[in-house]
Amino acid sequence: MLEKIIKKITFHTKLILNHPNSLRLAIGYFFLLSGISRFLKIKKGNYKINFSRNVLALNCFVDPNSRNEEELIIKSLLKSGDTYVDVGANIGTLCLASFKNINNLSVYAFEANPNTFKTLERNFKLNQLYDAHTYQVALGEKDQEITFSNIGTDDQNGVVKEGISYKRTLRVQMKKLDQVVILPKISLLKIDVEGYELFVLQGALQNLKNCAAIYFEYSPINTSKYNYHPLEIIKLLESLNFSIHIPIFKNEEIVLTQFLPSNHESDLNLLAINNNSQQSFNKMDYQSIN
């Protein structure tokens, strides 16, 4: 037991010392360990979140600009009256950034980990997002009970494949998105589920017919945990008549570059646009990769 405690202290001490904002990180750890964080709110843009025991909350305390580019991209893809579906919503920051900037936005948030889900709901309540549709469920390709990781780096929790052991796990329900809800229109579907993206899409084929755009993570490292390459995601989406792009927020607009699989073996976020959709993305600047 003592050896584990020493290892943990050593790990976090090195993390603090090597961090570019070490003082702020040390203060954040102090607030969390002392319990003071329970009384604190973190302001991020025009919304606030509770200073909860979540990696993302700690990152936002240390750097309020954390994940700003993602927030800008998501907000730029939405307009008044749209429907935003967030799969792997974590503590709700992307939902809140969109809700606070887009009028009459319909929000559907899915988070499998029950502890993280409680924080998400608290953050929604803090920002008066009362009419969001929230679901504490994992999304995938079938209806079943699964093992889900419950590690300290909660932003990396995900479905645990059979035969893989984690120190901390819990059992949660998995469903297809098409089982949970069929929406007449999805303006933007965001998926960040640590490599399980392909199976989420396989369980959402009915909804994808009505989906204008999908913002998702392309990660060979994460998908390898489930024995597939993220190019399978690309093939599935292209078969459904989606075109694949790399989005970058630049000069107050999104610049889209063509995604060429041969050039990318590292992690990045991609945007799939439904070529059958009536939703306009005219404000985007399209470029090609030379």
Ordered per-residue pLDDT tens for the chain, 290 residues: 666 556 666 666 776 767 778 999 999 989 999 999 999 999 999 999 999 999 999 999 999 888 899 999 999 999 999 999 999 999 999 999 999 999 999 999 999 999 999 999 999 999 999 999 999 999 999 999 999 988 877 778 888 887 677 778 899 999 999 999 999 999 999 999 999 999 999 999 999 999 999 999 999 999 999 999 999 999 999 999 999 999 988 877 888 998 987 766 788 999 999 998 867 664 455 444 33
What does DSSP assign to residue 225?
G
Closest CA to 84 of 219, 193, 183: 183
What is the side-by-side strand order in the sheet with 133-135? 133-135, 106-110, 83-87, 188-191, 213-218, 268-274, 242-250, 253-258, 285-287
Classify residue 50: in a domain, yes or no: no
Classify residue 55: in a domain, yes or no: no
Classify residue 235: in a domain, yes or no: yes
pLDDT of 94 reads 97
Classify residue 29: in a domain, yes or no: no
pLDDT of 163 reads 65
pTM of the predicted protein model: 0.91
Classify residue 129: in a domain, yes or no: yes
Classify residue 88: in a domain, yes or no: yes
Calculate the alpha carbon distances from 288 to 28, 72, 100, 245, 256 in Å: 42, 22, 33, 10, 8
CATH number where 135 lies: 3.40.50.150
Rg (CA), the chain: 19
DSSP-based three-state secondary structure for 131? coil
Distance from C-alpha of 281 to C-alpha of 284, rounded to nearest angstrom: 6
User: Which distant-in-sequence residues (6+ apart) come within 8 Å of 163 by Cβ?
Assistant: none
Residues in the chain: 290
Classify residue 37: in a domain, yes or no: no
Name all contacts of 5-10 with Cβ < 8 Å and 24+ positions apart.
none
Instruction: Note whether 118 and 91 are within 8 A (CB).
Output: no
Classify residue 71: in a domain, yes or no: yes
Closest CA to 210 of 282, 137, 124, 108: 108
* Number of domains present in the structure of the chain: 1
Residue type, 166: Y
Range of the domain at 108: 66-287
pLDDT of 6 reads 64
